[in-house]
Amino acid sequence: MYKSDTKKYGGAGLVYKVLFNERGFTPHYAEDVRDPIDNKQKLVMFDPHTRRSAFIYDVQEEEIEWEFVVPGQEVANPHQGFLLKSDIDGLGKAGDICCTDRNNKIVVIDRKSKDIIFHKKPAKWDPVWLHCVHLGADRKSLIVTDYSKMGGFIAKLDIPSLTNHWKRTNIRKPSKISTIAGRGLFHNPSFGGEYLICSNKEI
């Protein structure tokens, strides 16, 4: 196992250090979290092409402590998901992992047993490529992207029914999702919304 590079690198005012670098892994998303199970620093990562899994890397121990290969065979996933930092009614408990599987369903995996405790497609529509899933800012919903060749869309789904709360089709080929957590001091403090969405399409 490749050891974490604890050296700090800098360039053009950017300072960083390498936390994970291992052959045979191609994570498309990584989140640096404080694990609610043991209060240790972890990297929660999602590899849709090589491992087809969600996995957790213990930064202090420098080892992968947990991995789960998602079910299905229709599309390449999981691209993005999240660790539940606290219990979410209708979804899972603190420490569980939520992500997309390879059959366009949202899954929640129990960390200890590795049982799938939530496994469902969005209600009333059949996604072409359910790409990413993100916990809504209200903690009662999921924000998802459908990475379709036809253009794709973003939707807010209510937990646990996965019915549409709203849906947008004006962002082409939407993929990664993040919640806006901070506001700039010297610019307009409002982005006009709560989420940043990556579009893999030239404007």
Give the pLDDT confidence of 76-96 residue by residue, as tens digits. 999 999 999 999 999 999 999
Q: What is the CATH number of domain 18-199?
A: 2.130.10.10
Answer whether the bond into residue 122 is a cis peptide, omega within 30°: no
Q: What is the mean pLDDT of residues 38-51?
A: 97
pLDDT at 179 over 80: no
- Cα-Cα-Cα-Cα dihedral of 192, 202, 131, 94, to 10°? -40
Give the pLDDT confidence of 95-152 residue by residue, as tens digits. 999 999 999 999 999 999 999 999 999 998 888 899 999 999 899 999 999 887 666 8
Q: What percent of the chain has pLDDT over 70?
A: 83
pLDDT at 21 over 60: yes
pLDDT at 174 over 90: no
Tell me, what's the pLDDT at 151? 66
Give the separation between CA 80 and CA 152, rounded to whole angstroms.
16
pLDDT at 192 over 80: no
Tell me, what's the pLDDT at 12? 74
| Strands 14-16 vs 195-199: parallel, antiparallel or unpaired | unpaired
Q: Where are the domains of the chain?
A: 18-199
Tell me, what's the pLDDT at 187? 54
Tell me, what's the pLDDT at 2? 45
Q: Which residues contact 27 (CB under 8 A, 6 or more apart)?
A: 20, 45, 46, 47, 55
Q: What is the mean pLDDT of residues 66-81?
A: 96
Query: Mean pLDDT for the chain?
Result: 87
The maximal CA–CA distance of the chain, rounded, in angstroms, is: 50
Give the separation between CA 20 and CA 42, rounded to whole angstroms.
11
CA Rg value for the chain: 17
Band of the pLDDT at 25, cuts 50, 70, 90? very high
Structure tokens at 171: 């962002």
Tell me, what's the pLDDT at 5? 60
162, burial (CB in 10 Å: exposed 0-12, middle 13-18, buried 19+): buried
Order of strands across the sheet that contains 97-100: 81-83, 97-100, 106-109, 116-120
